[in-house]
């Protein structure tokens, strides 16, 4: 039986959902899969026992988060080992494809070859809140797409996303955001009238960047801007500096009825997402048809 390891970073659960589904789909195709969570506690970068290595992350400012790039740099060297990239983002914009440029470059230097790359649209954890129905529709679509993609991986069929003109340069420019997140993170504030000292924010910070001591919060210098803290705060007590206007707080209800966005941002969502859903439907239908054909 083949073996895969996927290094996965997820701040607010969307990418984690993608990776769990992918693991299940790979295992149904006889590829035993281990998920390694990327955070400040990750210490196992060994890959020699695996036939396939994966990276999964949410797109942050058209890039892979800094913590993901740092993890790739620490990976054990390989000799042409195939590599899978899974990413989630709030928008289906093609410019999001540049997010894997730097990661692919690092992996190449380490002796890995990115052979398969997939992008799933999931609800925003920053910028604006999708409706629960829209979130459920995105999740439902991803759930149906993942078996198609796992099948390609299992069969050894390559799948890379379309290259963007000057993608490497664009991604380098966007990485200025890493510094901005670090600076902005120092100015996070917690409304102590709302705070119930549950320490949820401290626990979920992938950088261990938040300290709560003697009734006071301190924020270190290594914020990723990932919003794990502010998204998961049960009292919406966080003020996230310059990003406050884009803050999204609280988990989505993915068990809602899957349906297009209604009301807030309805027109924008129709323009921005219709093509993604239409293409996904086509891809899923083609895969199901091929499967049905084989079964006959």
Ligand X SMILES: Cc1cc2nc3c(=O)[nH]c(=O)nc-3n(C[C@H](O)[C@H](O)[C@H](O)COP(=O)(O)O)c2cc1C
- Where along the sequence are the contacts to ligand X (CB under 6 A)? 10-16, 58-62, 88-91, 96, 122, 124-126, 225-227
- Minimum distance, C-beta of residue 125 to ligand X, in the bound complex (Å): 4
If the CB atoms of residues 100 and 125 are measured against ligand X, the closer one turns out to be 125
- Residue 45 CB partners (closer than 8 Å, separation 6+): 71, 74, 75, 76
User: Which lies closer to ligand X via its Cβ, residue 97 or residue 115?
Assistant: 97
CB 6 within 8 A of CB 35: yes
Closest CA to 57 of 46, 69, 41, 48: 69
Number of H helices, E strands in the chain: 9, 9
Nearer to ligand X, 47 or 89 (CB): 89
Least distance (Å) between residue 265 CB and ligand X: 14
Nearest distance from C-beta of residue 259 to ligand X, angstroms = 19
CB-based closest residue to ligand X: 58
Distant-in-sequence, close-in-space partners of 219: CB < 8 Å, separation ≥ 6: 185, 186, 187, 188, 209, 210, 211
CB of residue 161 to ligand X, shortest distance in Å: 14
Smallest gap from residue 229 Cβ to ligand X (A): 11
> Least distance in Å: CB of 249 to ligand X?
12
- What's the start-to-end Cα distance of the chain, in Å? 27
Q: Report, in Å, the least distance between residue 198 CB and ligand X.
A: 20
Choose between 67 and 82: whose C-beta lies nearer to ligand X: 67
Closer residue to ligand X (CB): 20 or 89: 89
Number of alpha carbons in the 13 Å side-chain half-sphere of residue 282 = 6
Count Cβ neighbours within 10 Å for each residue of 107-146 and write b for 16 or more, e otherwise: beebebebbbbbbbbbbbbbebbbbbbbbbbbbebbbbbb
Of 61 and 258, nearer to ligand X (C-beta) is: 61
Q: Are 52 and 23 in contact (CB under 8 A)?
A: no
User: Which residue number, 29 or 175, has a Cβ lying nearer to ligand X?
Assistant: 175
Judged on CB neighbours under 10 Å (0-12, 13-18, 19+), 149 is buried
């Amino acid at each position: 039986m083949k073996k895969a390891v996927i290094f996965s970073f997820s701040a607010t659960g969307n990418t984690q959902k993608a990776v769990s589904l992918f693991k299940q789909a790979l295992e149904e195709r006889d590829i035993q899969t281990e998920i390694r969570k990327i955070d400040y506690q990750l210490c196992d970068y060994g890959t020699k026992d695996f036939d396939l290595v994966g990276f999964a992350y949410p797109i942050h400012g058209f890039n892979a988060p800094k913590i993901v790039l740092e993890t790739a740099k620490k990976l054990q060297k390989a000799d042409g080992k195939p590599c899978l990239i899974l990413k989630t983002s709030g928008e289906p914009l093609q410019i999001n494809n540049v997010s894997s440029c730097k990661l692919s470059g690092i992996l190449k230097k380490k002796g890995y070859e990115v052979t398969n790359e997939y992008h799933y649209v999931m609800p925003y954890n920053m910028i604006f809140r999708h409706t629960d129905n829209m979130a459920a529709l995105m999740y439902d679509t991803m759930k149906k797409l993942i078996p198609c993609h796992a099948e390609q991986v299992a069969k050894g069929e390559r799948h890379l996303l379309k290259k963007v003109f000057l993608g490497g340069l664009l991604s380098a420019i966007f990485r200025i955001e890493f510094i901005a997140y670090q600076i902005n993170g120092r100015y996070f504030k917690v409304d102590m009238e709302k705070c119930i000292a549950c320490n949820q924010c401290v626990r979920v910070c992938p950088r261990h960047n938040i300290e709560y001591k003697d009734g006071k919060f301190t924020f270190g210098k290594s914020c990723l801007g990932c919003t794990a803290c502010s998204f998961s705060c049960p009292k919406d007590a966080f003020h996230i500096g310059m990003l406050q206007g884009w803050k999204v707080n609280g988990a989505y209800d993915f068990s809602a009825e899957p349906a297009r966005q209604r009301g807030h941002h309805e027109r924008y969502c129709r323009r921005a997402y219709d093509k993604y859903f239409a293409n996904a439907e086509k891809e899923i239908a083609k895969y199901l048809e091929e499967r049905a054909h084989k079964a006959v």
